[in-house]
Structures are given as structure tokens and as C-alpha cells.
Amino acid sequence: MAAGSVKRQQGGRTVKKNILVIGLGLIGGSLAKALMRHGDAVIFGYDADALTVRKAYKMGIIHHAALSLEEAAAEADFIILATPVGAAKKLLQQSQYWKLKDDVIISDTGSTKMEIMEAAANLKYIFIGGHPMAGSHKSGVEAAKEVLFENAFYILTPGRLAGDAHIEKMKELLSVTKAKIQVLTAKEHDHMTSIVSHFPHLIAASLVHQLDREQEYPFTKQLAAGGFRDITRIASSDPTMWRDITTQNNGMITAQLKLWIEEMTKLKNLLEVNEEEPIRQYFEKAKSVRDQLPIAGHGAMYSIFDLYVDIPDVPGIISELTGYLAEAQISIVNLRILETREDVFGILVISFQTAEDREKAKQCITERTVYDVYIS
């Protein structure tokens, strides 16, 4: 049988798999659309907003709109809770009263795992937690894209009843997303994401709060339009979502905050002593570690893939470059200029959804112009 197939033989005939996706926002919609690649899977979609379900059906994201959650769940071979963790926990409680297939596999897409795994601990059905580490600058079912998870990490956290065969079934189902599937414990997942995703959001938010406190020199906020805005981009994320993530993974994030305070105390001591070489070594180590981080692919945080182009400040230059990219059918997420003056080159920053699009754009611009094109 080909990899990724969800066919099941029964009495000499092929039986299709029913997949129910509950929650048809960006993640649920994109997952449903990707799972459509299984030619023998039937995708049912349910959302608390009936209009969202109708949109998903009209857009071809699902095969069927589930009018009754319990009826659709009863026919499902896989149930994916693509909702916030709080809503997923309530659905797990409700599922105890649903008449489900004995071999059904239930999963979720939440950003934290320990809390949802605890909620699923007493289920009599197989539960395998999931976290697709991908996102977009857009939200809602209208933004759903079947390629959203390609080359992104997709973490699975098996529950107590999940054996190797169940995990393989889940991997097989998700193989069509072209994500990089990894199996971790819930504790491992929440610890790792607290370091590289959850805690950095707190830092970004605190930097913005520190900027907001500046009253003596109001022009400071104008200077924040460049690099400061870039490094604090994640502070613009949905406050409600990050409230939930922070409260759900509070212990891990608090532990990271304690380590951060220790690091800041160490840095404060370096600055108070004010010796040049130790300070240089501090920055040198940071540069070395950062330079060794992987560039390609998605990490734990949603990434915009930026391409930097040194351009002269002349009329029509931006439309020229975007015209080249349009001809090559390369989609752009965002455009911004870091600096332009009459006597110097400006820096045009072009953002892309994927590393592949960025690489294609780099090649396209390099071949058709003399401008310096680079990745920072």
C-alpha cells in the first residue's frame, strides 16, 4: 500500500476513512484541505459558527458539513479538535457521551499539550495530542491553505492507550500534509516550546511596554519603526490566544522567566564592571549560537521569511521588483522599507510565506537586477 494511504480492505472492497475536523479556522481549515489529498478519505467539518462551515464547504475545504456533531462523530474514524485548548477540553468531556467507534482516534491541534493530555487521560478512546507548528499572518477559514504545514514540525503526544500501531496510523494520516512529524511527551513539548515560542512572546511584549514607558523623548517611537519593530513583531499576536497559552503553560514559562532574570543579572554585572573584553565575549557567544541555528524550515514560532534588497531611491523601483516576482508567480506576504534617502541605498524587505518562495525570489531578483540580495 502506498505511503499516506488511508484505505482499509474489508471483504475484498476498499472502505473509505471518515475524518471529522471540529473547528474550521486557519489551522482546522488548512488541515482539512491538506487531508483532501487522501483520495479515499471523506472530510466532515464542524464549527460553532454555521457560516464558517458553509464557507468551508463552498471553498472545497470539506466534503460534507456536519449538521450534528454527535452524528458526525459517531461515523468518524479520526476526530481532530482544531480549537483552542479550553474548547478542546470541553469537547473531550462531551465526547464521553457520544457513541463513537471503538477504534476511533481523537487528536487536537493545541499549542500546549500537558493540560489537554490530562483532560484526555480518562478517555476510553485513543487520544494522540497534536501540534502543527505553522501559522499565517491571516486568520479564519478564508486563509486556509493546504500547503500551510509543508516542512513545518508537527508534534504528536500519544495518550496512555495509544500504542505504536495507533501512532503509525496517525502519522500515515498526516503524511499528506508533508509536515515533519515528531513524537514527544507532553512535558517535553511544553518545555521546549516555552523556551523557543511562549517565553519569547513575553519578552517581546515587555520590550513594547518598556518603549511605551518612554515619555521624555517621544521621537523614540519613530526610531522603533526599523529593527525594534521587527524583533517585537510577535507582540502583535492575538492577546486572547496568548493569554490562554501563558496560563496553560504557566509553570514552564515561569521557570524560563527565572532563568531569564538570572541571565539579566549576569549581564547587569558585566555592564557595571564595564570591561571591554568580557562584554565582547558575551556578544561573541550570542552571535556564535545564533549563527548555528537552522535557517530552513519552520520552527516553533510562525515565521515570516524575509529577503533584503539594497535598492536606490528612484521612482518605480519597487513596482519593478514586484513585477518580476509576479511574472515568476511568487506570492508576497509583506513589503517594507527600512531606510531610504536620496544619497544612499535603501533596504527593501520583502516577506514570504515559505523559505522556498524566498529562495525563488532571491534567484529571480539576482538574475534580473544588479542589486544586492541577501538573507539576514
Q: Give the mean model confidence (pLDDT) for residues 34-44.
A: 93
Half-sphere exposure of 255 (CA within 13 A, CB side): 10
Q: Does 323 reside within a domain? A: yes
> In this predicted structure, what is the pLDDT of residue 88?
95
In this structure, is residue 212 part of a structural domain?
yes
Distance CA(285)–CA(265), nearest Å, equals: 17
The residue from 225, 259, 291 where one domain ends is 291
Q: What tens digit of pLDDT does each residue of 113-153 get?
A: 999 999 999 999 999 999 999 876 677 898 888 888 988 89
Residues 6+ apart with CB under 8 A from 178: 147, 149, 150, 151
User: What confidence score (pLDDT) does residue 264 get?
Assistant: 96
Residue entry with cell 457521551:
97
* 49 and 146 assigned to the same domain: yes
pLDDT tens-digit series, residues 339-354: 544 444 568 889 887 7
Determine, yes or no, domain membership for 66. yes
Asked whether residue 133 is assigned to any structural domain, the reply reads yes
151 and 217 in a single domain? The answer is no
Answer yes or no: is 5 within a domain: no
Asked whether residue 123 falls in the same domain as residue 266, the answer is no
As a whole number, mean pLDDT of residues 280-297 equals 85
Q: Report in angstroms the alpha-carbon separations of 1 from 8, 10, 11, 171, 271.
A: 10, 15, 17, 15, 63
| Cα 98 from Cα 293, distance rounded (Å) | 46
| Any domain includes 300 | no
Task: Name the residue type at position 7.
Answer: K
Q: Are residues 220 and 344 in the same domain?
A: no
19 and 147 both lie in a single domain: yes
Residue 375's CB is within 10 A of a number of other CB atoms, namely 12
80 occurs within a structural domain:
yes
Winning range, highest mean pLDDT, from 10-14, 115-119, 330-334: 115-119
The predicted model scores a pTM of 0.78
How many folded domains does the chain comprise?
3
Cell output for 81: 479538535
Residues 287 and 325 in one domain: no
pLDDT of residue 1: 30
Point out the domain boundary residue: 184, 201, 217.
184
**Which value, in Å, is the radius of gyration of the alpha carbons in the chain?**
24
Same domain for 310 and 264?
no
Q: Is the pLDDT of residue 97 over 60?
A: yes
Please give the mean pLDDT across all residues of the chain.
88
Task: Clarify whether residues 346 and 261 are in a common domain.
Answer: no
Domain boundary among 129, 163, 184: 184
Same domain? For 178 and 197 the reply is: no
Crossing angle of helices 199-212 and 250-273, in 10° steps, is: 50
Q: Does the residue 255 lie in any domain?
A: yes
> The CATH number of the domain where 316 resides is what?
3.30.2130.10
Q: Are residues 259 and 337 in the same domain?
A: no
Helix (H, G, I), strand (E, B) or coil at 361: helix
**pLDDT, tens only, 145-189:** 888 898 889 999 999 999 999 999 999 999 999 999 999 999 999
Q: Are residues 279 and 319 in the same domain?
A: no
The range of the structural domain enclosing residue 245 comes to 189-291
Contact 34/14 with Cβ under 8 angstroms?
A: no
Q: What is the domain-level CATH number for residue 162?
A: 3.40.50.720
Does 142 lie in the same domain as 47?
yes
Task: Find the CATH number of the domain harbouring 218.
Answer: 1.10.3660.10
